[in-house]
Structure 1
Amino acid sequence: MRLVYRVTPRQRLIVLEHALQQMQAFAQHRWWHCEAGGVLLGRHLLDSHDVVVDEVSTPQHSDRRSRFGFFRSSKHEQVARQRWSQENSTSAYLGLWHTHPEPDPTPSGVDRRDWQQAVAGDTYEGERLFFPIVGTHCMRIWTLSRRGTFRELNLEKKNGNQETGAS
């Protein structure tokens, strides 16, 4: 299974099953589950505008986590750099993901400021970063471009049926 999102008329974001399972494993289904998150890792496909999320970093011991908050430690950057080296400079940093303790997640003001800082200050390929939030019933993804364009991505329809991002 994979999820395919339309980014622009010429570009898609493809989230592979492994990465999806890694994120969904931290969905906050119980009241005692804390927010979790990490970075998206993947590829910009050659001869295509498509972007593929192959894997994600998962929560680190140095992260600060609570029911309604998550602070990503610098350990995630180390994971991304290690993967870049291990994969012969083909594994790219694509964005940030985290969970929310709500069925249909929406970004908070803190989330949006964090995303703006990532787009302005992080080193990455391409025009934009991606920001999934995993809720208790679905996952939604937003993108923010270097030019400041912010919007939610929509799942592509497949055979007339929309694929689901449900957990």
Structure 2
Amino acid sequence: MKLVYRVTPQQRLIIVEHAIQQMVGYTQRHWWNCEAGGVLLGRHLLDSHDVVIDEVSTPQKSDLRSRFAFFRSSRHEYLARQRWLEQDRTSAYLGLWHTHPEPDPNPSSVDRLDWQQAVYGDTFEGDHLFFPIIGTERIRVWCLSRSGTIQELNQEIKNG
């Protein structure tokens, strides 16, 4: 299984099964589950405009987690940099993910502020960063461009 989203008429975001499983493994199905999150890692395909998320960082001991909040520690940045070096500078930082304890997740004002800080403060290739939120029944994905345009991405293909 992979998830495919339309970013622009020429560009798709593809999330591979391994990355989906990593994120969905932290779904907040029970009242005692805390929010979880990490960074998205992957690549910009050379023969197209498509972006592929191959893996994600998962919660670290240094993160701050509660039922309704998640604060990423700098350990995620370190892990992303290590993957970039290990992959001969081909593993790209593509955005941030986290969970919500609701079936159909919606970003909070804190989430949107976090996304803006990432786009304006982090170093990344391309024009967009991506922000999946993993709900208890649905995954929704937003992207924010360097120009400040935010959009929810439409899922194109569920399986395939």
Please give the TM-score of this superposition, normalised by the length of structure 1: 0.94
For residue 70 of structure 2, what is the aligned residue in structure 1? 70
User: SS at 2:59's partner residue?
Assistant: coil
Tell me the secondary structure at the aligned position of residue 39 of structure 1. strand
Q: CA deviation at 1:121?
A: 0.3
Shift of 1:3: 0.5
SS of 1:156's partner is: strand
State the match for 2:30 in structure 1. 30
Counterpart of 1:155 in structure 2 is: 155
Uncovered stretches (5+) of structure 2, i.e. residues with no partner: none
Instruction: Give identity over the alignment, percent.
Output: 72
Per the alignment, residue 46 of structure 1 pairs with 46
Q: Distance in 1 between matches of 2:31 and 2:156?
A: 32
User: The residue matched to 1:85 in structure 2 has which SS?
Assistant: helix
Q: Where does the alignment leave 5 or more consecutive residues of structure 1 unmatched?
A: 158-162
Higher relative contact order (CA 8 A, sep 6+): 2
Q: Which residue of 1 aligns with 2:129?
A: 129
SS in 2 for 1:120: helix
Deviations 1:68-99 (A, max 9, x none): 00000000000000000000000000000000
Structure 1 position 18 matched with structure 2 position 18: yes
Aligned-partner Cα distance in 2 for 1:26–1:131? 16
- In the alignment, what sits opposite 1:160? none
Q: Which amino acid aligns with 1:70?
A: F
For 1:146 and 1:85, locate their aligned partners in 2 and report how far apart those are by CA, in whole Å: 25
Could you tell me how far apart the structure 1 residues matched to 2:58 and 2:74 are? 13
SS of the residue corresponding to residue 131 of structure 1 reads strand
Q: 1:47 Cα shift?
A: 1.9
- The residue type paired with residue 105 of structure 1 is P
Q: CA RMSD in A?
A: 0.7
Structure 1 residue runs of 4+, over 2 Å off?
none
